[in-house]
Structure 1
Amino acid sequence: MPLGLAADDVPRIRLVLRLFRVSAIVTGVFLLLLVVMMVARYGFGVDIEYSDAYGFGLTPRELIEERGSLNVSLIILTTHGWLYVVYLALDFLLWRFTRWSFARFLFIALGGIIPLLSFFFEFSVPRWVREEIAKAQPVEATA
């Protein structure tokens, strides 16, 4: 497959790019929540809990299970995992339509793993895509 995008893929690329930007922000927010949760869990031995009787709190996991409360830490873990799958799927579509190198695909994929990197990609990937689109579209002649 030749490198560089096909001009007829531009509308699809713009749609995927809009979805990617939203995904990058949401995945980044949940990754930051995940970092807070991991520090609480492995640094202090507590999970984030919610119950009607106690509200939000940091509680040992055994006590959360005993009380039958909602373990917010598990919700954060699961939600981030699924959001990362969506982020990867959109990264894959961008990679496929723009025909970038596989190394760039892997580099962008790190955005859902390394905290704050997805926020960087939310700004830089659109710039890279605009550059690719500019290369693919012929310059209009002005009279």
Structure 2
Amino acid sequence: MPLAPKLASFPAIRGALKFYQICSVITGTFLLLLVAEMVMKYGFGYELYLGGSGGFLYTSPLSPTGESTGDGVNLNMTILIVHGWFYVVYLFSCFRVWSLMRWNFWRFIMLACGGVVPFLSFIMEAIVAREVKQYLADREAAASDSPTPASEGAR
């Protein structure tokens, strides 16, 4: 039987859950941008640039050898780098919730997959938030209903 989180760790769990929810939305958004960027690059042969000779925001075709032809900030590469680094932060937030809730290892693997499978981070965020909030509410209600040893001796 897995160990249950201690009541004293509930404030830390709430903080970890909030951090996980924020990381989940940011990671999921950048993953969707990354998928769109890859479709544009490998499906249509264009890259997205910010600034440079093409204006504020423009697309530039790839050369026949696959080289970039734009001269501004390559947003494709920027999206890739930001998602990669933020995925590390997302994994930390998954680990924090997972360890505080004392879930099994497969649950951590499912949480981690949320950053690499499109839309899964949004689905997992909703499921995890609902389950954790319900668990905390149920445990706090049960703790407030059960008599404490000090109050039993006072009777």
CA distance in 1, matches of 2:22, 2:50: 27
Task: State the TM-score, normalizing by the size of structure 2.
Answer: 0.81
SS of the counterpart of 1:63? coil
For structure 1, the 5+ residue unaligned runs are none
Does 2:132 match 1:129? Answer: yes
Higher relative contact order (CA 8 A, sep 6+): 1
Q: Does the CA contact (< 8 Å) of 2:52 and 2:73 recur in 1?
A: no
For structure 2, the 5+ residue unaligned runs are 147-155
Percent identity over the alignment is 37
Q: Does the CA contact (< 8 Å) of 1:5 and 1:133 recur in 2?
A: no
Between the two proteins, the alignment pairs up a number of residues equal to 139
Residue 140 of structure 1 aligns with an amino acid whose one-letter code is S
Q: Does the CA contact (< 8 Å) of 1:111 and 1:117 recur in 2?
A: yes
CA distance in 2, matches of 1:83, 1:126: 20
Tell me the C-alpha RMSD between the 2 structures: 1.9
Give the aligned partner of residue 150 of structure 2.
Answer: none
Task: State the TM-score, normalizing by the size of structure 1.
Answer: 0.87
Give the aligned partner of residue 109 of structure 1.
Answer: 112
Q: Does the CA contact (< 8 Å) of 1:50 and 1:57 recur in 2?
A: yes
CA distance in 2, matches of 1:36, 1:135: 41
Give the aligned partner of residue 34 of structure 1.
Answer: 34
Which protein has the larger Cα radius of gyration, Structure 1 or Structure 2?
2
- 1:28-51 CA distance string (max 9 Å, x none): 111110000010111122211122
Give the aligned partner of residue 19 of structure 1.
Answer: 19
Residue 34 of structure 1 aligns with an amino acid whose one-letter code is L
The structural deviation recorded for 1:7 is: 1.3
Q: Does the CA contact (< 8 Å) of 1:4 and 1:136 recur in 2?
A: no
